[in-house]
Each structure stands twice: as C-alpha cells, then as structure tokens.
Amino acid sequence: MKSGKLITFVFLLSTAIVLFGGFIHSPLSQTERGVVFNETEIVN
C-alpha cells in the first residue's frame, strides 16, 4: 500500500516537473503579470 502511494507520488512529481519545467525548484518565480494596459488613469 505504502509503495503504491510512493509510486503515485513519484509519478505525479515527475509529471509536475515535465509540465512546469524547473519551476518548482525556484520558489517565488513570477506569478505577477506586468503592467501592459493602456488605461485606468484615475481610480482613486
């Protein structure tokens, strides 16, 4: 049972690495989007 869970974990982890590239080992990589929109002059 335990080894089954371990295999599942390793499988998911490797899938995550494939999908996210090296991202998961570089915490605080960029999630924030840059400022691109040509609007919202005054909102305050």
Partner 1 sequence: MNQNIIRSSDIAHLLNTWYSAIRKNHLPEAKKVKSKIEQMIVDMEEDQSLLIYHSLLEFRHKLLLGQYENAKTVLSEVQPFKEDMTDLLMYYFNFFSGIYARSVKDYETALSYYKKAEEFVSNISDEMELAEFHYEVGSMYYQMKQNLISIRHAKTALMIYQDKDDYLKNRAYCKLLLALNYVDMQNFPEARNYFDQAEQDSLKITDLRFQYAIHYNLGLFFSEQSEIEEAIHHFLVALKFCHFNKRFQVKTLFTIVREKHKIAAVDTEEWFVKGRRLATEINDKEYLVKLDLIHHLFGRANIGEVEVVFEKGLAYFEEQKLWVDLEEYLVWIGDYYFNLQHYEKSTHYYRKAIEIKRKIIGEVI
Q: Which residues bind partner 1 (CB under 8 A)?
A: 5, 8-9, 12-13, 15-16, 19-20, 23-25, 27-44
Of the candidates 6, 2, 40, which has an alpha carbon nearest to the alpha carbon of residue 14? 6
Alpha-carbon span 13 to 31, nearest angstrom: 20
Alpha-carbon span 27 to 4, nearest angstrom: 29
In whole angstroms, the minimum distance from the beta carbon of 2 to partner 1 comes to: 11
